[in-house]
Amino acid sequence: MHSPSTVASTIGGPTMSSALHLRDGGTSIVLDLRTDSVPTIVYWGDDLGDISAAAVDGLALAAVPQRVSGGLDVTARLTLLPQPSSGWLGTPAIQGHRMGRGFSPRLALTDVSVDGASVTVSAADERRSLSAVIELEVTPAGLLRQRLSLTNTGDDDYTLDSALMFFPVPADADEILDTTGRHLRERSPQRQAFTIGSHVRESRRGRPGADSTLLHAAGRRGFGFESGLVHGVHLAWSGNHRLVAERTPTADGFLAAGELFEPGEVILAPGQTYRSPDALGSWGEGLSALSARFHDELRARPSHVARPRPITLNTWEAVYFDHDVERLLALADAAASVGVERFVLDDGWFLGRRDDEAGLGDWYVDRSVWPDGLTPLVDRVIDLGMEFGLWVEPEMVNPDSDLARAHPDWLLSAREDLPLSARQQQVLDLANPEASAYVLERLDALVTENRVAYLKWDHNRDLLEPGDGPSGRARSRENVLALYDILDTLRLRHPHLEIESCASGGARVDLGILQRTDRIWTSDCLDPLERLQIQKYTGLVVPPEMMGAHFSSPVVHSTDRTARLELSAGIALIGHVGIEWDLTSLDEFGLAAVARWVRLAKHYRDLVRTGSVVHADRSDDAIDVRGVVSHDREHAFFTITQARTSVTLPPGRIRLPGLDPTTEYTVSVVEPSPEHHQPGQSPLAWATGLSASGRSLGTAGLQAPVQFPGRLTLIDVHATA
């Protein structure tokens, strides 16, 4: 890490001939100010060190393109605000108009002000009555953060159609990685060549969506987790968005990010300002290094959960809607007996909620099921030494609810009729102050009355035609902002309350929501083999301690596959560990086995909460190797998972990445017990432990255990004293 620093040659009036070097957290950016338009990022990547102003200037000069035949007299550059008025013919930064007029502003530089590793760039077009401010910062974690605001300085309305922030990538980045997915299979990676044209990923779901790309990345072909230069961008926003990877015939490739507006959604009145969410860029030699910057950034937040992540039991897959006080009390007893520390009562506790067809919106305890309210359960949970958590889905309403019957006008719609339903539910218009006040009052009361330490905040449908009713005004982004307000207020009122962002699993995973919540529900899929990929790619941005990872009953509900406890629990270790299983169905041996994995989770959770996640790049994906290495690289653990059969047997050697090459480590098998081996096979030579240097473990590696598919080996790695 370096302390933030800046090197600039003269910053002067509107015609500038200088460049600016910002550096922090191992990252440098260089901005070319040699223009009367808006600055251009000419370098973003590895820390350039303490170079002179002349060298910074030289770097900027080296990036100035020549004029070419068939082109404009000035070759356009990817400035921070690329616009046609400076010759830019690719995707522009700003698109908008005043009732069809003033479509092409010329936002010219008016000011650059530098503060440590942050710079604020101001630009204006007085004739078109627009001004823009771009705040750009290299953060202590080495991320490049951008934020854009646009002000209507005129005296009539300005309709903003699009506003994007731009991140250049190296000229030889020739492969794009993004993620897609669906319910139960979030964050599936997809790769393609980064050719001329645009690869655009948009969400029109009013939330990011299970298919949204968590990261839009471009790197040198074949980049993996361990190696290959790669740059990526994430938009910290929980609504509609647009992420672009584009290469034009005249410029290097770039990534761009911004909100996606519904038509007419942002109309700036005179004097009004649009403020974008943060766009965050990271880079790394390999994806693990890129991700580590996001993880460091989140961990440095004052609000980041600093205490060990409590082992959680969530009741959903244990009882679903079958809420019965005695049954849940018994489940709480069983949970406490295996070492659970937080008991979360999922869907089914409120008025009329006997299945998923009714009740959403009526946030009062259903006395027909809970005659004495939740108190008996809350008391038992707290007496057993656990925290109490409660599921809510505050933005949703079933038409079959008292709320919908009393306030049909509180539902989002674009016309006279309601949008198509999903899971028999509609969406509350939180931009309606009465609706949001109701939600806030209910949540506040529930938290206080039931000593709720944790809310699982669900959101189980896409927003379709999210308008304010028959007038047909779009309300998608206003609903995101209203949601943020409610979360912020609730947290202010209940500073110790933790909140999980769930949306049918991982359909609302972004750093906008994570700025206000403490973890995400990664996926409804608890099949550990599916989880391998889901957690690996969610981890591109989200640190493991913020990723809910529960182990479940051996027959996995979402895939009907059978998974062994050590596989389920072993894969949950690199996450915020929990259980989603009717533990009352287990005998004493079953409970003891679960308790053993809970103890292991407690043993490793501080390492998970503070360390670096690493993934081994392997040509054979039958075996997955991942681990967490402490910051001082003195301690680590790895899981070696046989996802399916290997082509060769024995399967060959595996490498353990991320260790200190010069340190000698003791490697030992934690699970299964070292004497375990399959019939007909000799014991693994290193099963009872070995000493090796970090360099040899990272390069030569060690023989993978021969395992049946669906088995996992957990190993511990300690610097030899």
- The DSSP secondary-structure symbol of 586 reads -
Which CB, 320 or 364, lies closer to ligand DGJ? 320
**Binding residue for ligand DGJ (CB under 6 A) from 316, 388, 454, 551?**
316
Rule CB under 6 A: which of 244-283 touch ligand DGJ?
Answer: none
Q: Does 347 bind ligand DGJ (CB under 6 A)?
A: yes
Q: Does 551 bind ligand DGJ (CB under 6 A)?
A: no
CA distances from 634 to 134, 225, 306, 607, 618 (A): 41, 21, 21, 11, 24
In sign, the C-alpha dihedral spanning 434, 435, 437, 438 is positive
Pick the piece of the chain touching ligand DGJ (CB under 6 A) from 22-30, 74-82, 248-256, 497-505. Answer: 497-505
Rule CB under 6 A: which of 28-57 touch ligand DGJ?
Answer: none
* Contact pattern for ligand DGJ over residues 379 through 398, marking x by CB under 6 A: ------------x-------
Which CB, 32 or 462, lies closer to ligand DGJ? 462
The DSSP-derived string for 620-665 is: -TTEEEEEEE-TTSSEEEEEEEE-S--SSSS--EE--TTS-TT-EE
Distance (Å, rounded) from C-alpha 89 to C-alpha 248? 8
Residue nearest to ligand DGJ (CB): 347
Which CB, 57 or 346, lies closer to ligand DGJ? 346
The DSSP-derived string for 22-52 is: EEETTEEEEEE--SSS--EEEEEEE---S--
DSSP 3-state assignment of 270? coil
Q: Does 504 bind ligand DGJ (CB under 6 A)?
A: yes
Task: Give the distance between the most distant pair of CA atoms in the chain.
Answer: 84
Cα dihedral 152/156/161/166 (nearest 10)? -20
Pick the piece of the chain touching ligand DGJ (CB under 6 A) from 262-270, 375-383, 433-441, 500-508. Answer: 500-508
Question: Shortest approach of ligand DGJ to residue 505 CB, angstroms?
Answer: 5
- Count Cβ neighbours within 10 Å for each residue of 176-200 and write b for 16 or more, e otherwise: bbbbbbebbbbbebeeeebeeeebe
CA distances from 470 to 289, 415, 417, 427, 467 (A): 50, 4, 8, 15, 8
Decide if 46 is catalytic. no
**Binding residue for ligand DGJ (CB under 6 A) from 82, 189, 232, 505?**
505
Distance (Å, rounded) from C-alpha 586 to C-alpha 420? 42
**Binding residue for ligand DGJ (CB under 6 A) from 32, 174, 462, 524?**
524
Distance (Å, rounded) from C-alpha 183 to C-alpha 523? 8
Decide if 524 is catalytic. yes
Question: Shortest approach of ligand DGJ to residue 395 CB, angstroms?
Answer: 13
DSSP 3-state assignment of 479? helix
* Total length of the chain: 721
Which CB, 250 or 504, lies closer to ligand DGJ? 504
Rule CB under 6 A: which of 457-496 touch ligand DGJ?
Answer: 458, 460
Pick the piece of the chain touching ligand DGJ (CB under 6 A) from 125-133, 324-332, 482-490, 499-507. Answer: 499-507
**Binding residue for ligand DGJ (CB under 6 A) from 346, 527, 566, 671?**
346
The footprint of ligand DGJ on this chain (CB under 6 A) covers a number of residues equal to 11
Rule CB under 6 A: which of 593-622 touch ligand DGJ?
Answer: none
User: Two tokens at 415?
Assistant: 């016309």
Which CB, 261 or 316, lies closer to ligand DGJ? 316
Count of C-beta atoms within a 10 Å radius of residue 718: 15
Question: Shortest approach of ligand DGJ to residue 421 CB, angstroms?
Answer: 15
Query: Out of 278, 366, 524, 716, which one is annotated catalytic?
Result: 524
Site residues, ligand DGJ (CB under 6 A): 316, 346-347, 391, 458, 460, 502, 504-505, 521, 524
Which residues are the active-site residues?
Answer: 458, 524
